[in-house]
Chains A and B, each alone.
Chain A
Amino acid sequence: MDDKNFIKINNLSKNFDDVVAVDNVNINIGKGEFFSLLGPSGCGKTTLLRILAGFEYPSEGSVSIDGSDVTDIPANLRPTNMVFQNYAIFPHINVKRNIEFGLRKEKISAEEVNQRVSEALKMVKLEGYENRFSNQLSGGQRQRVALARALVKRPKVLLLDEPLGALDKKLREEMQIELRNLQRSVGITFVFVTHDQEEAMTMSDRVAVMNQGKILQVSPPRELYDFPVNLFVGDFIGDINLLNSEISNIDGKNVKVLINGIGEYTIQAHTIINQNDTIVTGIRPKSINISSNDNKKSDIQVKGKITNTSFYGNLTYVYVSIEGVDKALMLSTAESLQGLSINSDCYLNINLKDIRVIKKNDP
């Protein structure tokens, strides 16, 4: 066992009657890693997490944690703890007793229990809330109790099932940072399930994108954003302009594509493209430059017309329609739009290195 393979998920599948919830998943998660499972609802990410927790048993495949096979070990005997989506704080006992709930099973002195509980309360900044009950806490506080209750057990792996979903935006962003800091300071491996790509991107060391029970890509956030393996990942992660394209010629990594509305260019692909693949080309909004004149300073220049703008404070999103393309291209700029407004003509500058050839089919 090495630290890179702290959690090993091998050929894991789970069927519910005829429905395949998890389809032949293989993932290795490193020790102390913040790992996210990201996907739309119903993609199987929660089922996968529940298999890791021991609430569901896989139909096929195995799971091992820290070198020992836990596939058939029930939830109460696993070195994992979970933070539930609705927090699952026991309503009949107070915060302190919620947190020490799991410690009763461990053979430690009452003194140590108290010490560990107060440490945990301090860690989640809930000192003084010992005697409160669940219905006297806010959503954010409940979530902290759930975290403390799980972490006080000192699990090898902490599983989090969309724990921030029920919080409002501001609190959610605060908790993202706090959770990340907490994870770094305790050094426990976190497996985090979310459908919010922003959340996964800002917090994780690596993200696994799931759809229909399959893992499509496992990468660090930056790589996921810059080099999506297929259309689903590219479209799911961040904003992207997708243009219908056709392959004209393939020469190793260099793919000559005819991009709808833009022209024919040779682009270096980041995945292996075969002649019979169907593809689109993708350009991130930040990679398109806009100017009011045609002083060419990039590989490609296209003329267009601004159809809409939306101001987001630090960024402005501009929508530009170009001839031959149905959907207006979206671009973001941090600069002011000197002289440009809705309906004005403009020029878009794009560099070839920013264009991605993306497969429509699975990798």
Chain B
Amino acid sequence: MINTWRKLFSKHESIRAYTLLSPALILVILAMASPLLLMVLTSFHTQVSMMEIDSTLTLDRYADFFSRPVYSTLLFRSIKISFLVTLVTLLTTYPLAYYIAFYVKKNKMLWIVLMTLPFWTSYLLRVFSWRVILGHKGVINSALMFSGAIDEPLSFLIYSQTAVVLTLAHAWAAFAILPLYVSLDKIDKSLLEASYDLGCSKFQTFWRVTFPLSLPGVIGAILIIFIPTVGDYVTPQLVGGTDGRMLSNMIQSLFGRANNFPLGAASAVLMLLSVSFVALVVTYITKKVSLRMS
């Protein structure tokens, strides 16, 4: 028995590969694939009462979703906010990553660690500290009032979409810096010199060579930020107010107080689909645009 196994094992590379993969594979199947399937399945059911779910398959929950405008509004808002978060994060972290990759000569690792240092503290703590900064009696408003620039607190700072975008962009910055830095650092410096040599200024070189070559990192950062932030519900809850509520807050309440698991599941499935779609489109456009530019 053991001998046959040993023979198979040494003969077939695929058996060796799957054996090595099996712990991860089992985890992914148990903890990712099956809950996901369960959720999709639930989205076709009906909540009858508090504890009872009718498991006849139906598309009614999807009809529910589209018949009530609030869901679509929240979905679009989620996508819009995540899109803005992604944009703000990229615009702020790209220059940092660029600086570390091209201008820092020694101790690059130290710089990276310093950049990511704030992210070693708890996510919740960071969201709360943004409340301290943006709040009605927060750092910014008090300073502005003290200096006499304004008479009453700026209301758009906290409990608004701006607050959600700012907080999320800061929270996810570290995840953007790393892929951006890696892709920029990998660029062969002689390519940039070749571009100068062929007549391009530094600015043109950036758009024709550096940026297109850093695209894998940019796309990586886009996906890493966009996908999870769409589903974030802690930040909108804490700094978003009513204006900053996102679909994920609604899903949370459907699985909680509102107690409509099937509708929650349907919303989640629709969110999953739209996020995948938007992510694909963004990736595609980024690639196209950069090819045109070079």
Which A residues lie at the B interface, using CB under 8 A?
Answer: 53-55, 74-77, 80-82, 84-86, 88, 90-93, 97, 101-102, 105-106, 149-150, 153
Which single member of A54, A82, A92, A106 contacts B294 (CB below 8 Å)? Answer: A92
**A153 pairs with B198, CB closer than 8 A:** yes
**B201 pairs with A82, CB closer than 8 A:** no
**A93 pairs with B294, CB closer than 8 A:** yes
Give CA–CA (A288, B209) in the complex, Å: 57
**A149 pairs with B212, CB closer than 8 A:** no
Name the residue in A84, A88, A93 with the highest tally of chain B Cβ atoms < 10 Å from its Cβ. Answer: A88
The answer to whether the Cβ of B52 comes within 8 Å of any Cβ in the partner chain is: no
Give CA–CA (A139, B55) in the complex, Å: 64
Q: Which residues of A contact B198 (CB under 8 A)?
A: 76, 81, 101-102, 105, 149-150, 153
Give CA–CA (A81, B191) in the complex, Å: 13
Q: Which residues of B contact A84 (CB under 8 A)?
A: 190, 193-194
**B193 pairs with A55, CB closer than 8 A:** yes
Give CA–CA (A90, B195) in the complex, Å: 9
Q: How many A-B residue pairs have CB under 8 A?
A: 67
**B197 pairs with A82, CB closer than 8 A:** yes
B192 to chain A: closest residue by CB: A88
Q: A54-B197, A76-B196 are in contact. List 16 more A-B contacts (CB 8 A).
A: A53-B197, A54-B196, A55-B193, A77-B199, A81-B197, A81-B198, A86-B190, A88-B194, A90-B194, A92-B212, A92-B215, A105-B199, A105-B204, A106-B199, A149-B198, A153-B199
Q: Which residues of A contact B213 (CB under 8 A)?
A: 91-92
**B188 pairs with A86, CB closer than 8 A:** yes
Q: Binary interface profile of B, 88-123, with partner A (CB < 8 Å = 1, else 0)? A: 000000000000000000000000000000000000
Within 8 A of A (CB), among B166-207: 188, 190-191, 193-201, 204
Given contacts A75-B193, A93-B294, contact A88 B200 (CB under 8 A): no
Interface size on B, residues (CB 8 A): 20
Give CA–CA (A76, B199) in the complex, Å: 4
Q: Which 10 A-B pairs have CB atoms at the shortest separation, nearest pair first?
A: A102-B198, A105-B199, A88-B194, A88-B190, A75-B196, A76-B196, A92-B212, A82-B197, A84-B190, A76-B199
- Secondary structure at the B interface, as helix, strand, loop or mixed, is helix
**A90 pairs with B197, CB closer than 8 A:** no
B194 to chain A: closest residue by CB: A88
Give CA–CA (A149, B195) in the complex, Å: 11
Q: Binary interface profile of B, 198-242, with partner A (CB < 8 Å = 1, else 0)? A: 111100100011001101000000000000000000000000000
**B200 pairs with A105, CB closer than 8 A:** yes
Give CA–CA (A153, B194) in the complex, Å: 13
Give CA–CA (A90, B193) in the complex, Å: 11
A149 to chain B: closest residue by CB: B198
Can you list 22 residue pairs at the A/B interface with Cβ under 8 Å? A53-B197, A74-B196, A75-B197, A76-B198, A77-B199, A80-B197, A82-B194, A85-B190, A86-B188, A86-B190, A88-B191, A92-B209, A92-B212, A93-B294, A101-B195, A102-B198, A102-B199, A102-B200, A105-B198, A105-B199, A150-B197, A150-B198
Q: Which residues of B contact A88 (CB under 8 A)?
A: 188, 190-191, 193-194
Q: Which residues of B contact A74 (CB under 8 A)?
A: 196
> What is the distance, in angstroms, from A106's C-beta to the closest C-beta of chain B?
8
Give CA–CA (A92, B212) in the complex, Å: 7
A74 to chain B: closest residue by CB: B196
> What is the distance, in angstroms, from A231's C-beta to the closest C-beta of chain B?
35
Q: Which residues of B contact A92 (CB under 8 A)?
A: 209, 212-213, 215, 291, 294
> What is the distance, in angstroms, from B72's C-beta to the closest C-beta of chain A?
39
> What is the distance, in angstroms, from A152's C-beta to the closest C-beta of chain B?
9
Q: Which residues of A contact B291 (CB under 8 A)?
A: 92
Give CA–CA (A80, B199) in the complex, Å: 10
> What is the distance, in angstroms, from A164's C-beta to the closest C-beta of chain B?
17
